[in-house]
Amino acid sequence: MPRACALLMRDIREVLKHMNIRILAIGKLKESYWQAAVAEYSKRLSGYCNLEITELKEIPLRANPSAADEEAVKEAEGRELLHKINKTDYVITLEINGKSFSSVELADRLERLAIDGKSNLVFVIGGSLGLSPDVSRRADLKLSFGPMTFPHQMMRVILLEQIYRSFKINHNEPYHK
């Protein structure tokens, strides 16, 4: 690798190290296997960025809820999420109708955000009912992992794995394909 490229890669790595990544998620991880997976990826990411995961309380829904009940829960959870987001945060919501990326494209996007000085990223994972329209409107990027629906506990692990994979790609480090 030519010296100029090596220096540029070192500079990009330094910029990436100063990224602050927060994950806001509705609901707690109850099962030990999800907790173990999140702990493993959190440990792996600790060498690449500052990671913070904030779990917000899932609002209980009564049995046989009406559409209005469901909307009220989404709105209440949305207010809690928005309360945790700062004006300067770059907000990435996980939404089924968002933009899909390959792993390399996501790595490129995260690198570009870091280079552009957007070092405070907030990934938002809604509850079982999804996100309120207000949270969706606050998003700078709506990210989709495809048209399938996943449990929000699993999404947290998938998201962490893809963030970790992005850092490995951006550092030109090997990672299984």
* C-beta pairs of 115-121 under 8 Å, 24+ apart in sequence: 115/12, 115/15, 118/90, 119/15, 119/18, 119/19, 119/20, 120/20, 120/22, 120/86, 120/88, 120/89, 120/90, 121/19, 121/20, 121/21, 121/22, 121/89, 121/90, 121/92
pTM above 0.75, yes or no: yes
Chain segment 68-98, per-residue pLDDT in tens = 999 999 999 999 999 999 999 999 999 999 9
Per the DSSP assignment, residues forming a β-bridge with 24 are: 54, 124
Question: Residue 17: which pLDDT band, with cuts at 50, 70 and 90?
Answer: low
Q: Which two tokens stand for residue 50?
A: 């500052």
Q: What is the pLDDT of residue 7?
A: 47
Nearest to 167 by CA among 53, 35, 19: 19
Contacts of 16 (CB under 8 A, 6+ apart): 48, 49, 110, 111, 114, 167, 170, 171
Q: What is the pLDDT of residue 131?
A: 96
Average pLDDT (30-36) is 96
Q: Which two tokens stand for residue 97?
A: 């109708």
Q: What is the pLDDT of residue 16?
A: 56
pLDDT surpasses 70 at 177: no
Q: What is the pLDDT of residue 13?
A: 55
Q: How far is CA 100 from the centre of its chain?
A: 13
Give Rg (Cα) of the chain: 17
Average pLDDT (27-45) is 96
Q: Which two tokens stand for residue 129?
A: 């009912």
Mean pLDDT of the chain: 91
pLDDT surpasses 60 at 114: yes
Q: What is the pLDDT of residue 152?
A: 85
Question: Residue 15: which pLDDT band, with cuts at 50, 70 and 90?
Answer: low
Average pLDDT (108-131) is 95
Question: Distance between the two ends of the chain, CA-based, in angstroms?
Answer: 23
pLDDT surpasses 90 at 35: yes
Chain segment 121-176, per-residue pLDDT in tens = 999 999 999 999 999 999 999 999 999 988 889 999 999 999 999 999 999 998 76
Is there a contact between 36 and 156 (Cβ–Cβ < 8 Å)? no
